[in-house]
Amino acid sequence: MTKPSIDFYFDLISPFAYIGSTQIEALAARHGRTVTWKPVLLGVTVLKIMGMKPLPQYPLKGPYLAHDMARLAKIWGVPLHPHSVQGHNSLNAMRAFVWLDARDPDAAKAFARAIFRRLWVDGLDMTPVEACVEEAQRLGLDAAALADGIASQEAREGLRVGVERAIANGVFGAPFVIADGEPFFGCDHFWMLEQWLRDGAWMAPPA
Amino acid sequence: MTKPSIDFYFDLISPFAYIGSTQIEALAARHGRTVTWKPVLLGVTVLKIMGMKPLPQYPLKGPYLAHDMARLAKIWGVPLHPHSVQGHNSLNAMRAFVWLDARDPDAAKAFARAIFRRLWVDGLDMTPVEACVEEAQRLGLDAAALADGIASQEAREGLRVGVERAIANGVFGAPFVIADGEPFFGCDHFWMLEQWLRDGAWMAPPA
């Protein structure tokens, strides 16, 4: 019997989601699991619902997170370069993901990976539709259709509903994994996720 | 040559510091290290400097942290029971720790462990001086001297200066470990700390 897929929640704006995205498929595969990528928007969960600032803006925690992301990338061998893009957001790219995901989840994952690399390896902005189109073209996807998709009511609604579902499932940050109902926040918890997938349920999922 | 001690920053108010405190000595010992316990006050770092609320009060994150602390305790075999103490603070207990630490660091660690257990195993308040006195008596320490110590200028100043130093070292939460200049926040990072102690520096410490 096939084991259930695990859910990987990400926002393309999050460097830790990028780092996590490079590890999660292999981690899941080691335990006979596949991964379903699902959207969350930190601008909704962190800023609106939790009423926090973007975490990098906090004194003490901001510098720590910058150091932590660099060393995590080094430990796991993930290319990550500081970039100078400012004022960017992931809304178009996340809509593009949702629109692609409804048609071809593998293409949607490839697109998400390309956007992550665009910012953290190539230092290029992801904000405008043109950025999404460029990455789609490079992947051999129908870029014109994707541009229409990003502007579609389907993508807007799909992302809105997806983020609502994420919140209903208790997701507040990224990366955030839910496996068999059990929540794991952050790359920091991947060791615990791995233990969960290996040893089975050491604790009943939250009610 | 003896390897340098690692610094374990804690606040007696923090359940994750309690859980971490039960693991850190053995973790360090596995790599030939000793542990120096150092004070931090979340009321200063989290509330005043970072301007956050106590983390358990945040929507989404609060329930996650409660679940995370229970499962971490289960995974590591740490006794942890929900308690109904409210409005408590760690100021007297932390002053007691600082005062004891200046005289006998091992007694200070034993006292800190007793206070952690008092709240998370026995469900009793740590706030009043009497609570500190009671735990000191049980440990066979000079309880009357400790009561005077808590009220002393030395303890007040010692805690104030200790917390200032913690902040100067980038400490914002608890538990927080600094090993060879490298910072590790949270029990979630103990796997990375262990890797650091085992494999040596995979990255230069932050400037």
What tens digit of pLDDT does each residue of A118-170 get? 999 999 999 999 999 999 999 999 999 999 999 999 999 999 999 999 999 99
pLDDT given at position A203: 53
Interface of A with B in 15-54 (CB under 8 A): 45, 49-52
B77 touches chain A (CB under 8 A): no
Torsion of CA A108, A111, A115, A121, to 10 degrees: 130
B70 touches chain A (CB under 8 A): yes
pLDDT given at position B201: 65
Confidence of residue B206 (pLDDT cuts 50, 70, 90): very low
Look up residue B191 and give its amino acid.
W
pLDDT tens across A186-204, in order?
999 999 999 999 987 665 5
pLDDT tens across B61-79, in order?
999 999 999 999 999 999 9
Nearest CB neighbour to B49, from listed A50, A60, A173: A60
Confidence of residue A73 (pLDDT cuts 50, 70, 90): very high
Per the prediction, chain B carries an average pLDDT of 94
Q: Give backbone dihedrals phi and psi of B144, rounded to 5 degrees, phi first.
A: -65, -40
Closest-CA residue to A38 (of A137, A193, A135, A170): A170
- Token output for A26: 């292999």
Q: How far apart are CA B156 and CA B193, in angstroms?
A: 31
Assess whether pLDDT exceeds 60 at residue A86.
yes
In terms of CATH architecture, what is A6-199? 3-Layer(aba) Sandwich (3.40)
pLDDT given at position B205: 45
Q: How far apart are CA B192 and CA A42, in angstroms?
A: 26
pLDDT given at position A202: 60
- Token output for B61: 């994150």
Confidence of residue A205 (pLDDT cuts 50, 70, 90): very low
Q: What is the mean pLDDT of residues B100-119?
A: 98
Could you report the predicted ipTM of this complex, rounded to two decimals?
0.91
